[in-house]
Amino acid sequence: MSELVAPHGGGSLKPLLVHAAERVAALKRAATLRSIPISSREMSDLFMVGMGAYTPLDGFMGHDDWKGSVTEMRLASGVFWPIPITLSLARSTADGLGVGEELALTDGETGEILGLLTVREKYVIDRDLECKQVFRTTDAKHPGVEKVMRQGEVNVGGPVTVLSEGEYPAKYKGLYLRPEEARAQFEKRRWKQVAAFQTRNPMHRSHEHLAKIAAEVTDGVFIHQVLGKLKAGDIPAEVRTRAIQAMIDNYFKPNIAIQACYPIEMRYAGPREALIHALIRQNFGCSHLVVGRDHAGVGSYYGPLEAQHIFDELWDGALLCKPLKIDVTFYCYKCVGMATGKTCPHDPKHHLSVSGTRQREMLSQGEEVPTEFSRPEVIAILRDYYRSL
Ligand SMILES: [Zn+2]
């Protein structure tokens, strides 16, 4: 019996990716069905359901689960769920669909058939309510709100079968771990308490320090990269994974850190997203999630500690994966070492801070990057990338 934290919802993992043996027949059937192109967010959610990361969901939510997750952070069954997972269609498309009809879901860009959905329900949502509750704003400039406001008018709920994970498994071979594979890796190392570290950046010294604090208080750290669509100007995942691996190989003991990546698309929902990040990590077998300052935030929509505080509002048993709340980390010239906002007493003028813009400038123009800020092995990889642009 595994000593890792149990999957979310009290049952076993529920990966809905079809077995290889059944895939050909399923694809054949899919080719005869009405094909529905889906958005990048919907695709990433479909992949998440496919790998079992959204256990216990069996597909896209119906109205009651939508309403419950939006207003009370729980599914109709009572299980904790902080962000609605929905599929939307234009009214003209939705009107032509019958309940019980099976649809082929396709990649909106390539046309590849990704999965099957059986229509269980069609419903219209109050988008303002969803945005107010989930994003704490209805400002259309918020990237998550913008997507909700732009989505189709009718939500379609129903169970799915996933037929493809797109290019991810081949492109990120060895790094694209499904929850049961991550659990197997932890068990092989005899880890029981595992801290997940969510990242969408190459890791500099401050991120390394956070990951090491997490590794000190658990059996190991699971450095988990986001692969879904990012904001313009972000460093591509294939470069980030190499930079992170360079940091792990040179600055972590073997077997204390595992890097992996997963297909979620950021919603930038701050506190609510921190909660779903923890829920997902529970499915991956992690007992803890590092929640730093402004976790999953964007702009100045959320206070720096809101994503930490929201965990205190949950009811007992809602979530087994617990937050490791860690303050902002930096190099302090007075402490002469890595420090955090919680313990370092020195004026910020003694802290090394390098903005993203300044970093890009230093890297693309060949300037020295202080070793207090980032490891030379990491910098070398990023410098090559910026030179290639
Ligand atoms: Zn200090």
The predicted-structure confidence for 162-178, as pLDDT tens digits, reads as follows 999 999 999 999 999 99
For the packed helices 356-364 and 376-388, what is the interaxial angle rounded to 10 degrees? 80
98 pLDDT band, cuts 50/70/90, is very high
- In 100-236, which residue ranges form alpha helices assigned H by DSSP? 127-134, 143-150, 168-171, 179-188, 205-217
> If you search the block for the tokens 């993992």, which residue do you land on?
13
C-alpha 367 to ligand 1 mean position (Å): 26
On whether the CB atoms of residues 83 and 69 are closer than 8 A, the answer is yes
pTM for this predicted structure: 0.95
Annotated active-site residue 34? The verdict is: no
Strand order, beta sheet including 220-226: 257-262, 220-226, 194-199, 288-291, 322-325
Distances (CA, A) of 270 to 227, 342, 356: 18, 21, 20
pLDDT at 22: 94
C-alpha 342 to ligand 1 mean position (Å): 10
d(CA 333, CA 373): 11
Annotated active-site residue 200? The verdict is: yes
The predicted-structure confidence for 165-218, as pLDDT tens digits, reads as follows 999 999 999 999 999 999 999 999 999 999 999 998 889 999 999 999 999 999
DSSP 388: H
Q: Which of 23, 127, 201, 242 is catalytic?
A: 201
* Structure token pair of residue 91: 């009214």
Q: Does the pLDDT at position 354 exceed 90?
A: no
C-alpha 355 to ligand 1 mean position (Å): 19
Q: Which of 41, 200, 240, 293 is catalytic?
A: 200
The predicted-structure confidence for 242-252, as pLDDT tens digits, reads as follows 999 999 999 99
> If you search the block for the tokens 């290019």, which residue do you land on?
167
The dihedrals phi and psi of 251, each to the nearest 5 degrees, come to: -130, 5
Which residues, by Cβ under 5 Å, contact ligand 1, an ion?
332, 334-335, 339, 344, 346
Q: Other CB atoms closer than 10 Å to residue 143's CB: what's the count?
A: 15
